[in-house]
Chains A and B, each alone.
Chain A
Amino acid sequence: MNWTQFLFRLIEPVVPPRFVIKRLLLLIPVLFGVASVVFAILHLAPGDPAIIIAGQRASAEQLEQIRVELGLRRPLWEQYLSFLWDAARFDFGQSYSISRGNSVRSVISDRLPITLELAIYGQAAGILLGLPLGIISAVKQDSLTDHVTRIGALTGISVPIFWSGPLLILLFSTYLDVFPTSGRIASTLFLPDTWTLFGRELPLTGMITVDTILLGNTEAFLSAAHHLFLPAVVIGVYSTALISRMMRSSMLEVIRQDYIRTARAKGQGAKITLMKHGFRNALIPVVTVIGIQFGTLLGGAVLTETVFGINGMGLTIVTAIGVSDYPVVQGTVLTFALLFTLVNLFVDVTYSYLDPRIQQ
């Protein structure tokens, strides 16, 4: 049995492999479309890559030589096909300026875990707070708790990150001095590049909280968690608000269904009925929101990382656009698109597990 057969055997009881294959195949045109749009935007944007690389004082001959080396003198259709081929192999060449001389792939592999860590903590905060708040709000409809939760959710959805971020820094870092303003770990702490498992040296993940656990460094873990708290809260507020709102409306719809009334009439306890019959059915539309939300979190990371000075994918893309580092822009945008589509695939699979009618 090869690994694909093993994977299909594994997912078969949850969701039909045919459904997953169909969804996976649809990812190809999505990524192909994103790559085409990225190519178009970068060719329509002003700026000459040769000048960015060689500088303003370079001679005309030097600039022409760089253009030839970069393949910018080839016909456009050739450049386009070569770009698509490189994108399919995830090879975007070398960075022009933000990490000059290094491959875009290495820039992305360095910074992606930082953004993923931030998005995962933000999403975790959103799910852990949003789901219970939504359920409580639905069960205690029109009570003070419900009103407070709803106002909180509305505020969370309405407040943009570029406003809430600096405001929280001002309150918790400048006035109260509880959390640091920027960075990922205290400047006095240094982490090695590898960790040891059964005598073997393995590379670290790049996610600082995970790495500190792997290294068994409690002091560094606490410092990393301390540094990550405020950015994760900022990025998670919107998520919490949206999930709680969605959960409330979905739960309200479910608890009015006949099967809930029947379960209660048969003598089942209110809490068991709610969690056993209500929760799973109410979760279906919420799962979709969580998936879409994860994409928004990746977008939110651009703002959060800029506000908190975290050197992840978000800050990289902003800097790369600012200095016209096109290969890095192409690579980061396509990575974001790939992540977003993979998360949506995961949501589709979860959705079809929760509601098998979707598979039809």
Chain B
Amino acid sequence: MRSIWAVCKREFVSYFTTPVGYVIISVYAAISGLYFTGSFIIYARITQNPSAYAYDGIPELEEWMLSPFLVLCGQLIMFIGPLVTMRLLSEERNRGTMELLLTHPLRDREIIFGKYLAALGTLLVMMIIVGIHLTIMGSFTPVEPAVLFFGLITVFLMGAAFFSLGLFISAVSSNQVTAGTATFGAALISWILGTMGRDLPQAIPTPEEWPEGAVLLASFLYGVIREIIVSLPLDAHAQDLAQGIIYPHDVAYYVLFAAFFLFLTFRAFESRKWRA
């Protein structure tokens, strides 16, 4: 237990003894702040004169602004996240310190959880920035506490799930750039799928001359593919959660996602014992 803490502390501190940590946090603060300020000003204008903006009444703050902001914060973590996770294990391998790590009395789980917790530590720093925004908003207008609470949990869950994927990719790369690029690619694919999923029709038409079996098969396959595209992306499960609506399957998705990739990280890390 103590060793997990030692590994975690060293890793976390090293983010902030090099410029990496500051760059990550600044970029995160800048982009989320820009989005927050812009949408907050527009929302303020709408509340003053809803009809001018073609609204019947004042739109709900939570629905119009808060949830989209929180989902964006989560998505932003996916795009900045590769910078956090790419170094975790690949850097140790690249500069040879893996030899120290593996000859000190550390168990695999102490190394992997220590690294993962350090990444979650930087996630918490990002959450503090989100928290500052929300405090500013709360000082202007009352906000539903449940939405706030579950919104923050959503951002954290998205980040934690995505970081486990990043950790796994870092475990199989010997180079930071490779790890970072692959993780970024994964984020991009997830985001593209998520965007596609929103517009996918429920069914596809099939040519009339097709026999009944083929039509059934085609619609079944389409259903499966559609379900994957709609449900797999990381941000797909954030929309409801960010509005304070909790479905167990959304929470379970993030927890299982993180557990699955942590499991893969363990297997990849252990593979050193049988690969050469």
**A, B co-complexed:** no
